[in-house]
Amino acid sequence: MTALLKTNLGATPLLGRGKVRDLYAVDDALLLVATDRISAFDHVLATGIPGKGRILTQLSLFWFDLLSSLVSNHLITADVGRFPDYLQPFAPQLEGRSMLVKRAQMFPVECVARGYLAGSGWKEYQKGRTVCGIPLPAGLVDGSRLPEPLYTPSTKGEAGTHDENISYAATVEAVGEADAAELKRLTLAIYKKAAEHAESRGLILADTKFEFGRTAEGIILADEVLTPDSSRFWEGAAWKPGGAQPSFDKQFVRDYLEGIHWNKQAPAPGLPDEVVERTQGKYLEAFRRLTRREPS
């Protein structure tokens, strides 16, 4: 299988290429196409992970369905046969990895839920026993389960820049008190339901981030959701606080890049076949465990 690194839909207006997704204007809607690009340390790498875009899209579709009782989402259809006629010649690029979605006014915050101490949260905790300024008990270690899930929003970093954790008060200032409260409520409710499902499949959902937008119908869940690109999934049976946990994500990629002492500046390097295969295997295993099916 060859990795799809870039789409080309002819005269269809391209609105932009993100780290993973290409975004097109399709009449009054948007078309999100998940490529096989992979990023690390805020840079897109020269090598892709074959099939990754299909896994991300189909996992998001699984979660949109599972969470539909909690929150509406931006999906119109993922059935390429229902896309406009002028997109049908591009079906080989689109099958299994694209979603036709509603346009929405996106909120300028990443909505992060943390059930466990890891990543930037662990780094902040070591400095002053807080995460995003929220006080936590003494004695926690890397990988500890938190007393209760936390809502820790962040800014949306542009390509090549980091997301920055911000306080809840900063989100109130950015979007208003009512919307800030609703984003927090939705984030924690979705995290709770998703974490329970993951636990039933032997996985820990350590943390995740969501993006929300507003349409005429109200606040909706948008972009991708609960994939190994946006979430930390850990192996439940192997969980042992006190260090890095066995995970279902691009950790093999990060470890390789650290090992070759890449300076984390463009241009980003490519990946050896072994790292590609092991990373692909982790994404596939997460998909199979969570959905109990194979990606198409």
User: Where are the chain's structural domains?
Assistant: 106-255
The reported pLDDT for the residue numbered 160 is: 46
The reported pLDDT for the residue numbered 162 is: 63
Using DSSP, how many helices (H) and how many strands (E) does the chain show? 7, 15
Question: pTM score, two decimals?
Answer: 0.94
Residues of the chain with pLDDT under 70: 157-162
CA distance 183 to 189: 10
The reported pLDDT for the residue numbered 164 is: 84
Output the CATH code of domain 106-255. 3.30.470.20
Q: Is the peptide bond before 267 cis (omega within 30 degrees of 0)?
A: yes
Three-state secondary-structure class, residue 3:
coil
Q: Phi/psi of residue 88, each to 5°? A: -60, -35
